[in-house]
Amino acid sequence: MSARESTRPVKALDRAEPHDERPPCLRCFCHPGNQPCPEVSLLVLDDDRPVTEPLIMRSDRPRLTFFYCLKGKADLEIPRPDGRKRSEKITTGMSLFFLLDGESRLSRRRLPFQAVALQPHPECLNVPLARFASPPDGCIIMKGNIPLRLRILLEHMFLCRDDGVLREVFFTHKKYELLYRQIELLGERGVEDDISAAERRAAARAWNALLEHVSDPPSLTELAAIAGVNRTRLTELFRALFGDTVFGALRRERLECARKLLEGKNKSVSDISYLCGFSSPSHLSRAFAAHFGVTPTEYQNAGKRGQGAAANNLAIR
């Protein structure tokens, strides 16, 4: 991916003044394909400007596109093979998988707007992805909510503060990690399709029970009784729907709860540890550092994201 209006590199996520002291801007990072997989591109958008002209994405050949909206609302126009446009309303937490061949327009309707687009060419990973190269309606392959296991990975992409070599390393790593996780999910789609609506509701009952008692969760036996299935089946349902064991999914939710509270900066690490169901601040610190790579205190004290320049028109080649 590269900027269409300028030949200089697109900069994004640089260090800057606190958010409320800087003017609204569009921060964008475009990471083109490179070795060992030259046909995978990444686009990260972080936009809090007043609504402006649509963002135009172009592709000179068919490209599979995974689009994830982390924050905000937008209208996305996608070209169809018959020359018409298909319009999709994008909202917070939504993911869209489509085939882009030509010019796509993204009109932001609510700011701030944060989104990530991942584009592997079908020929690059022909075994897992080539079967999606011809969607039934010509463009949209599937849409839904961002899976839990991808949400935190996507949000990490907006935390990069380095403006040098480390930024390139960071986004290269995240790009391939996202690709791996997304293909992994596609491979499990057949397993999910075998889960009945009743079993999905059963898993939801168990999950809601966990969230209602984060600090003192029910046992696996108790959760199975709440869900109305046996313990083995409940574990299978969680692995298929949440990508983890019952208590592994709860642990991730606790860590995400802690991360969001740490961003508020109005609570201590000690208070947050108990609010999110950890037995002690040291318990939170160990789990947080193992999962995110930094301690809660380091995360809370980290500077605001930076600001960079970007163009509105992006070409995907």
Tell me: do 297 and 180 sit in the same domain.
no
Residue 73: burial class (beta carbons within 10 Å; 0-12, 13-18, 19+): middle
248: in domain: no
Among residues 77, 80, 102, the alpha carbon closest in space to that of 89 is found at 77
Among residues 110, 117, 114, the alpha carbon closest in space to that of 96 is found at 117
Q: What is the mean pLDDT of residues 133-150?
A: 70
Q: What CATH code is carried by the domain that includes residue 14? A: 2.60.120.10
- pTM for this one? 0.58
Q: Which two tokens stand for residue 97?
A: 């998988």
Segment (H or E) for 196: none
CA 243 – CA 233 distance, rounded (Å): 14
Partnered with residue 287 across adjacent β-strands are none
- pLDDT category of residue 143 using cuts at 50, 70 and 90: confident
Tell me: do 69 and 90 sit in the same domain.
yes
Residues spanned by the domain of 270: 253-301
Peptide bond into 36 cis (omega under 30): yes
Higher pLDDT, 238 or 193: 238
Tell me: do 173 and 292 sit in the same domain.
no
pLDDT tens digits, 80-94 = 777 788 888 999 989
Q: What CATH code is carried by the domain that includes residue 294? A: 1.10.10.60
pLDDT tens digits, 216-256 = 899 999 999 999 999 999 998 888 777 788 998 898 888 88
Tell me: do 83 and 176 sit in the same domain.
yes
Tell me: do 12 and 60 sit in the same domain.
yes
Q: Which two tokens stand for residue 212?
A: 């209602």
Position 228, amino acid: G
259: in domain: yes
Whether the per-residue pLDDT at 274 is higher than 50: the answer is yes
Q: Looking at the 3D structure of the chain, how many domains does it have?
A: 3
307: in domain: no
Work out the percent of the chain whose per-residue pLDDT is above 90: 15
CA 124 – CA 9 distance, rounded (Å): 25
Tell me: do 82 and 54 sit in the same domain.
yes
Q: What CATH code is carried by the domain that includes residue 209? A: 1.10.10
pLDDT tens digits, 11-69 = 333 323 333 344 455 555 565 655 555 578 888 888 887 766 788 887 777 778 899 99
* Distinct helix (H) and strand (E) counts, the chain: 10, 8
Spatial neighbors of 265 by CB under 8 A, at least 6 apart, are 300
Whether the per-residue pLDDT at 180 is higher than 80: the answer is yes
Tell me: do 26 and 84 sit in the same domain.
yes
Q: What pLDDT, on a 0 to 100 scale, did the predictor assign at position 218?
A: 93
Q: What pLDDT, on a 0 to 100 scale, did the predictor assign at position 226?
A: 94
Tell me: do 124 and 185 sit in the same domain.
yes
Q: What is the mean pLDDT of residues 194-198?
A: 79
CA 57 – CA 316 distance, rounded (Å): 7
- pLDDT category of residue 310 using cuts at 50, 70 and 90: very low
